[in-house]
């Protein structure tokens, strides 16, 4: 929905920057819920996560604004007269939004579930998990976390839930837990977000964003892991 709202921005440049930041540094509400559960009772870890995501958001946004050609528009919107809404209009608008959701968005979640099912029964997921285990180990995480990252592409909350299972099993704690959460939050957007990006920005731009986000997420995880260990941070 946030990607759709970028239509209100005046220039193509601003729409691209906003879409990039949404895909990279803004977790969806479902994923954020699981992340907060992962960091429940860990105030220090929560502040570290929020600080890192804020720094990355501002840094990438600043670089994108500097590197992309074009002028900065003066964004403003005329506020319409505020009146009491009509009950009939509220129901009509609610109906149209729900209808749109079931027609446009729900099929994407069904498709993601089907792809997960096909990947598991064909053994394709095992191959991809083995490939992901290398960058996962490179940033200091257990190889079991690779499955969470794979599922995170299809549904971001599935990926975060996978990390939660690893935490419950005692496999993911301390600095690796923070590194995994940061990396997954920055990881490639889920298939629903990716599809919406294609629809709004085009296939070429969506693939370009994915090509940047995937290595950047693991690079950021590597830096966070090294930095926290070098500073002797205990979580």
Half-sphere exposure of 235 (CA within 13 A, CB side): 25
d(CA 103, CA 144): 36
In a domain, residue 92? The reply is no
Q: What is the pLDDT of residue 58?
A: 95
Residue among 204, 180, 168, 203 nearest 31 (CA): 180
Stretch 140-158: mean pLDDT, rounded? 83
Q: What is the pLDDT, as a whole number, of residue 195?
A: 82
Cβ neighbours for 193, distance < 8 A, ≥ 6 positions apart: 3, 22, 23, 28, 156
* 86 within some domain: no
Residue 118's pLDDT band (cuts 50, 70, 90) = confident
Residue 91 lies in a domain: no
Closest CA to 65 of 102, 141, 131, 11: 11
Structural domain includes residue 6: no
d(CA 92, CA 35): 35
Instruction: Give the structural domain span for 138.
Output: 27-51+101-230
Measure Cα distances from 30 to 34, 74, 110, 149 in Å: 7, 33, 16, 15
Give a yes or no: residue 21 inside a domain. Answer: no
Looking at the whole model, is its pTM more than 0.85? no
Give the tokens for residue 102.
């079931």
Q: What is the pLDDT of residue 77?
A: 66
Structural domain includes residue 136:
yes
- The domain total for the chain is 1
């Amino acid at each position: 929905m946030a990607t759709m709202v970028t239509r209100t921005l005046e220039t193509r440049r601003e729409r691209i920057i906003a879409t990039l930041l949404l895909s990279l540094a803004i977790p969806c509400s479902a994923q954020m819920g699981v992340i907060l559960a992962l960091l429940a009772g860990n105030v220090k870890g929560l502040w570290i996560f929020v600080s890192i995501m804020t720094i990355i958001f501002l840094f990438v946004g600043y670089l994108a604004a500097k590197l992309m050609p074009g002028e900065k528009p003066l964004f403003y919107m005329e506020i319409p007269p505020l009146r009491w809404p009509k009950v009939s209009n509220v129901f009509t608008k609610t109906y149209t939004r729900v209808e749109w959701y079931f027609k446009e968005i729900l099929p994407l979640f069904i498709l993601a579930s089907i792809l997960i099912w096909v990947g598991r029964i064909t053994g394709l997921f095992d191959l991809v998990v083995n490939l992901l285990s290398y960058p996962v180990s490179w940033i200091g995480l257990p190889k079991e976390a690779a499955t969470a990252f794979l599922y995170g592409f299809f549904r971001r909350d599935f990926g975060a839930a996978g990390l939660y299972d690893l935490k419950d099993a005692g496999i993911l704690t301390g600095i690796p837990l923070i590194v995994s959460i940061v990396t997954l939050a920055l990881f490639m957007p889920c298939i629903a977000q990716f599809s919406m990006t294609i629809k709004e920005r085009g296939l070429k731009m969506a693939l370009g964003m994915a090509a940047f986000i995937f290595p950047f997420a693991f690079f950021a995880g590597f830096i966070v892991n090294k930095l926290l260990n070098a500073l002797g941070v205990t979580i």
